[in-house]
Structure 1
């Protein structure tokens, strides 16, 4: 979602809805907008404060000083306008919900693509393995190569874990939703990958 999601007048109305929930300072309003849009829209102070000033001129909000912080609150006139435009507000909120769902789908797709890539790497590694014709003790060179590959496997797993963990934490921190189905799908994919590794290490 880009700033264009708030067409003319939409952001003004959404600001009123946020203030109807509770009085807020400017930064709190900016943070609320970021959270509600899953981090896809973070307005600048230059976008928010002029609109708040306009709402104050129209008598729809008031501002009071709390130390060095300015707190904005909706007025009765602001609540009346909000009530009169409930249909418009419902449309705006539906658009925001669609955006959050899109982010959740992107996270799910990212996990799926990462797991597909991991499965492909494991399959390729399994195909490259050829069991010796007769059992024999591994040579020193083979042991050294195995230790090197073990370190590389650790690095691959750690990088994958760090990337997925960062993506998920960032998504949730920005206010996005994490559906149980996404976590279940990740768990199932990792379980399948573990079984494939076991088969690759113990070819029949």
Structure 2
């Protein structure tokens, strides 16, 4: 999913808002932005530090040394700038909420697609088992067992899908669903499907 893109000056404003909450290191600002966007947007150091330097040059933030790290804090001038543009910050927050919601919807779509693909593989395996079962009486019993197993597998998949969708929706409201979640889901389901197909082919 394409991450949210800050309009001109909006990232600068958002950095001031984060520093108004508390002084932070540059890396802490990057982490805070990633958390606010539910993992859908994580700026690089090359994006953050030049803007912090510009804010310092304009007198909107001050930098002090904390061991080997630089800590940035908002100045009175920075607070005045933030207060004068508070309405713009509210609009940015609304965009963040919309972005996280779209991300959650994308994850749910990925779950549906992956589960349909897995069901199709199981159905195909069941058809192959049914075809082979007609050759001998022994395979007839195997056919019945296979059909029961497919039915049970379908129940397991349905339960998994329902439980995961509930958890995804719950976590989306907290901004915790990210592109990494989709990638992990896709990878793990692909691995499970491949393992099942290999196991069935060896029988």
CA separation of 1:32 and 1:132: change in aligned 2, threshold 3 A: closer
Q: 2: distance between equivalents of 1:7 and 1:105?
A: 24
Q: 2: distance between equivalents of 1:76 and 1:177?
A: 36
1:114 and 2:125 are equivalent in the alignment: no
How far off is 1:28 after superposition? 0.7
Contact 1:103–1:176 at 8 Å: present in 2 too? no
CA separation of 1:29 and 1:133: change in aligned 2, threshold 3 A: closer
Q: 1: distance between equivalents of 2:11 and 2:133?
A: 72
How far off is 1:128 after superposition? 4.1
CA separation of 1:2 and 1:65: change in aligned 2, threshold 3 A: farther
Matching of residues 54-203 of structure 1 within 5 Å: 54-130=54-130, 138=138, 176-177=176-177
Question: What's the secondary structure of 1:138's corresponding residue?
Answer: helix
How far off is 1:58 after superposition? 1.6
TM-score normalised by the chain length of structure 1: 0.62
Q: Which residue of 1 aligns with 2:32?
A: 32
Q: Which residue of 2 aligns with 1:6?
A: 6
**Which runs of 5 or more structure 1 residues have no equivalent in the other structure?**
147-152, 179-204
* Deviant stretches of 4+, over 4 Å: 1-4, 131-134
How far off is 1:37 after superposition? 2.0
Contact 1:25–1:72 at 8 Å: present in 2 too? yes
**Which runs of 5 or more structure 2 residues have no equivalent in the other structure?**
147-152, 179-203
Number of equivalent positions: 156
Contact 1:26–1:70 at 8 Å: present in 2 too? yes
Question: What's the secondary structure of 2:34's corresponding residue?
Answer: helix
Q: 2: distance between equivalents of 1:133 and 1:91?
A: 64
How far off is 1:138 after superposition? 3.1
Question: What's the secondary structure of 1:8's corresponding residue?
Answer: coil
